[in-house]
């Protein structure tokens, strides 16, 4: 479990950093329509193009604020687990539901950027990757500790590390999609 917790800690810290940077730039960018973001590389990789879309402020404020919330929660839980805390099953299930919302939202935002906005934000891509990896780690911990009910087959699949092939495969598919649409 220690490698999974370390992976969650690293990914959570990277995701939190990306969320903070994106939140600041998005907030400043909404007050100045002509402003460009530090992560604007070209028309295809443009944080400002994504941040100025309706999808970027779904509830009236920058979505990156959600990243700060989700990453702060998962970092707190991860540090507590690293320090030996035993969390109640209901709490861990609630955190898994909470982070299921996070991964669905991150993947929806990726699909909107990819198929609708036709521009990708490097910070958003970072958050999509880290959210996927944190969700994978959290789900893995919850299956291995019995917080999430699972069959013997699923428990074996996760306990032997084969679940990482699924998550790695998803990230490779996303990377290939980006590569073939924007870089080739």
Question: Residues 161, 171, 52, CA angle at the centre, nearest 5°?
Answer: 145
Full domain range(s) for residue 45: 1-183
pLDDT for 96: 92
Q: CATH no. for residue 30? A: 1.20.1440.130
pLDDT at position 6, please? 95
Which of 116, 120, 128 has the alpha carbon at shortest distance from 64?
Answer: 128
Give the per-residue pLDDT at 30: 65
Whether 182 contacts 114, CB under 8 Å: no
The model's pTM is 0.88
Residues of the chain with confidence (pLDDT) below 50: none
If one counts the domains in the chain, the total is: 1
CA distance 58 to 63: 7
How far is residue 52 from each of residues 88, 112, 136, measured CA to CA in Å? 41, 13, 30
Q: Residue 169: its pLDDT value, please?
A: 94
pLDDT in tens, 95-133: 999 999 999 999 999 999 999 999 998 999 999 999 999
Residue 146 has a pLDDT of 85
């Amino acid at each position: 479990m220690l490698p999974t917790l370390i992976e969650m800690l690293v990914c959570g810290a990277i995701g939190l950093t990306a969320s903070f940077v994106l939140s600041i730039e998005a907030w400043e960018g909404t007050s100045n329509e002509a402003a460009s973001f530090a992560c604007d590389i070209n028309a295809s990789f443009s944080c400002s193009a994504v941040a100025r879309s309706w999808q970027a402020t779904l509830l009236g404020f920058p979505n990156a604020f959600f990243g700060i919330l989700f990453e702060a929660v998962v970092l707190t839980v991860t540090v507590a687990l690293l320090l030996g805390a035993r969390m109640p099953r209901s709490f861990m299930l609630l955190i898994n539901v909470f982070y299921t919302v996070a991964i669905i939202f991150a993947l929806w935002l990726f699909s909107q950027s990819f198929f609708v906005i036709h521009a990708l934000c490097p910070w958003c891509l970072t958050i999509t990757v880290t959210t996927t990896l944190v969700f994978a780690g959290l789900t893995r911990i919850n299956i291995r500790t019995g917080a999430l009910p699972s069959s013997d087959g699923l428990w074996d699949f996760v306990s032997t590390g084969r679940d990482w092939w699924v998550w790695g495969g998803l990230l490779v598919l996303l990377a290939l999609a980006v590569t073939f649409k924007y870089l080739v």
